[in-house]
Each structure stands twice: as structure tokens, then as C-alpha cells.
């Protein structure tokens, strides 16, 4: 079998459909996932194929339907819960944090919670302060939860199928602006192991680590730096938790410099954790300080120009590359 080119939303839809075919315990629920075919059309056509018992529209009540899905998972089903935005997961925060991720521990292993919470994470285009949060650092702080953030169609499908089959709660972080991005995936079934990063591009002068939408911006900055003779190794962790720190350490031991890019905020972010772990494991290999490019410490502005200045972008990443290499 060969390959085909699909959008990220199509790759996710294929993953959901295949897992529903494979296991009749898998079902989907969330706001507008059925009759409207999903806010971002990830679930398009699934109601017609699987019916309202397995593709379930919910009221606008994240705390209620998240709790219902957690109960279903505890009693043997495998729910996929769509949040129209991960900003709305905050309404269900108590259900996720106090029940889903603690139940296996608190029940002494009696109750697993095999559930996937999925939907768009981070900023879209001018959706302002209440709809632009990056949640991976908030949720990544909590034991008992797997956090995944794919950057392309291939990873989205393979990791989503692995997430559905996992017996733990999973946060699957997508991006509203990335759903239409296309890339190749195999025609047949495949899974990607959770917790394994990917070297997207090999290099020798600098290691750059980025995840989710930031991979696209990092590639743009790397292409510019190449024209100046700079060789950069780009790593996409793919899974935020568990983190493939071994891959990052191995790369830093080769390049001796590290640049971290994330859409979330600087303070107590994912880049903070990676930087500390690298310092712990290979401090003597570093030829200079670790550099970070993150969202600025402000609520997200509505203004398009201010939004661009607040978020990481290729220009800021390119300047950070030169800073990391002492070429400012």
C-alpha cells in the first residue's frame, strides 16, 4: 500500500472511525460533534455511519458531559470527548483533575479511566484572552495524565489511535489553525508509540525543540538560518508527557546548544521543564545558555498586530537562533 495526502482533520477522523470499527466500546461525545459534523469538521459523516448512540451531541455543559464520560470509562467504555476549545475544559477542570486522573490511584487500581479529551489548544486568529490559552503546562503538572500535541497528519492519526487504546486519561491537543494543513500518511493502519519524539531535521550547530503549531514556525526560521550556513537539528517531542528527554539530551550532546520554542507562557512552562532536565543530564555539554521563545507574559490581545507580537513567530525564533549561537 502507498501513501496519501490528507488534512490533519481528515487524519483524526480516520483514526476515530477506525477505532470505532475495531472496538464497539469507543464512542464520541461533545458539543456539535453529531448533527453539525463537528465545529471543525473532524467528526464529519460519523453520525450518519455510527448513529446517535455512538456519536452524541451534548448540551453546553462541559462539567456535566466530562463527568458522564469519565463514569462511562470507569465502567468499561472508551469515550472520546471533544472540547470545542481546550479553553472550555476549564469548566470541566474539577472532573478531569479530581476524578479522571486520580481514580486509578485512589481506587487501588480497581478503576481505569481510558478516555481521550481532544480539541483545539492555544491561540487561533483574534479570539482574544479567554479563548487562546495553551493548556499543556497546566495539565502537564499533574501526574496521571498523558498529554499529546501532534504537528502533522501522520503523527495526529498514529498517536490518536494509540491514545484511544491507552488505559489512562489522555489530553490530545490540536490547533484550530492547523486542521487544514496537509501531509502524507500511509494507506493502511499504523500506530505511533506514546512518549517517543521525532527528529524532523538533523543538524550540528544547534538543537531546536518545538511542539504543535510551533513546529511550523520553527521550520520557517530554520530555513532562513540555513541561508547563513547554520545547521539546526529540529526535534518535535510529539508527546509532552511522558517526554522523550533522552532524544533531546542526545541531540544536545551533539550540538552543544539548545533553543526551546513553545506557544505557552515563559513562566513555569514546558520549556522550563525541558531546560531543567537538560541541565540535570548534560550541563557539561552546553557551550552557552539555553534560550527560550515563548508567549509574552500578558493575556492575549484581540488586535492582530499585538497578537503577532505576543506569540512566538518565525522572526522571534530566527533572532533567538542567532542569540543562541552568539551571532546577534
Longest distance between any two alpha carbons in the chain, whole Å: 60
DSSP 41-63: STTTTHHHHH-TTTEEE--S-HH
Residue of 7, 14, 19, 62 marked catalytic: 62
Consecutive H or E run containing 226: helix 214-226
Q: How far apart are CA 92 and CA 321, in angstroms?
A: 39
Please, what's the b/e burial string for 40-61 (b: 16 or more CB within 10 A of its CB; e: otherwise)?
bebbeebbeebeeebbbbbeee
Task: Report strand pairing: 239-241 vs 146-148.
Answer: antiparallel
Residue with cell 481510558: 114
Q: How far apart are CA 114 and CA 164, in angstroms?
A: 7
Grid cell digits, residue 30:
461533545
Residue of 82, 131, 136, 318 marked catalytic: 131
Residue 296 has, within 13 A of its CA and on its CB side, a CA count of 11
Does residue 201 carry a catalytic annotation? no
Consecutive H or E run containing 216: helix 214-226
Question: 314: burial class by Cβ within 10 Å (0-12, 13-18, 19+)?
Answer: middle
Nearest to 237 by CA among 199, 264, 202: 199
Q: Which residues contact 57 (CB under 8 A, 6 or more apart)?
A: 29, 30, 31, 32, 33, 34, 35, 36
Does residue 133 carry a catalytic annotation? no
Question: 227: burial class by Cβ within 10 Å (0-12, 13-18, 19+)?
Answer: exposed
Q: Which residues are catalytic?
A: 62, 131
Amino acid at each position: 500500500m502507498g501513501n496519501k495526502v490528507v488534512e490533519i482533520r481528515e487524519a483524526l477522523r480516520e483514526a476515530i472511525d477506525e477505532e470505532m470499527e475495531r472496538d464497539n466500546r469507543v464512542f464520541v461525545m461533545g458539543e456539535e460533534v453529531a448533527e453539525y459534523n463537528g465545529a471543525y469538521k473532524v467528526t464529519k459523516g460519523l453520525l450518519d455511519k455510527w448513529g446517535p448512540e455512538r456519536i452524541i451531541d451534548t448540551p453546553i455543559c462541559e462539567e456535566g458531559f466530562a463527568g458522564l464520560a469519565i463514569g462511562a470509562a470507569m465502567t468499561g467504555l472508551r469515550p472520546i470527548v471533544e472540547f470545542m476549545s481546550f479553553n472550555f475544559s476549564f469548566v470541566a477542570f474539577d472532573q478531569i483533575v479530581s476524578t479522571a486522573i486520580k481514580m486509578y490511584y485512589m481506587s487501588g487500581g480497581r478503576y481505569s479511566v481510558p478516555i481521550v479529551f481532544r480539541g483545539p489548544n492555544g491561540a487561533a486568529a483574534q479570539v482574544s484572552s479567554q479563548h487562546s490559552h495553551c493548556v499543556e503546562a497546566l495539565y502537564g503538572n499533574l501526574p496521571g495524565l498523558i498529554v499529546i500535541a501532534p504537528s502533522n497528519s501522520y503523527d495526529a492519526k498514529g498517536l490518536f489511535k494509540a491514545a484511544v487504546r491507552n488505559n489512562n486519561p489522555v489530553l490530545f491537543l490540536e490547533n484550530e489553525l492547523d486542521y487544514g494543513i496537509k501531509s502524507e500518511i500511509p494507506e493502511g493502519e499504523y500506530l505511533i508509540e506514546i512518549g517517543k519524539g521525532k527528529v524532523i531535521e538533523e543538524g550540528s550547530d544547534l538543537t531546536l525543540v518545538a511542539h504543535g503549531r510551533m513546529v511550523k514556525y520553527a521550520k520557517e526560521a530554520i530555513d532562513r538560518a540555513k541561508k547563513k550556513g547554520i545547521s539546526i537539528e529540529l526535534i518535535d517531542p510529539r508527546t509532552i508527557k511522558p517526554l522523550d528527554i533522552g532524544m533531546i539530551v542526545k541531540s544536545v550532546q551533539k550540538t552543544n546548544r539548545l533553543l526551546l520554542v513553545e506557544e505557552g507562557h515563559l513562566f513555569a512552562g514546558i520549556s522550563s521543564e525541558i531546560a531543567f532536565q537538560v541541565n540535570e543530564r548534560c550541563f557539561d555539554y552546553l557551550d552557552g545558555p539555553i534560550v527560550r521563545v515563548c508567549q509574552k507574559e500578558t493575556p492575549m490581545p484581540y488586535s492582530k498586530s499585538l497578537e503577532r507580537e505576543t506569540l512566538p513567530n518565525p522572526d522571534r525564533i530566527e533572532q533567538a537562533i542567532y542569540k543562541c549561537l552568539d551571532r546577534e
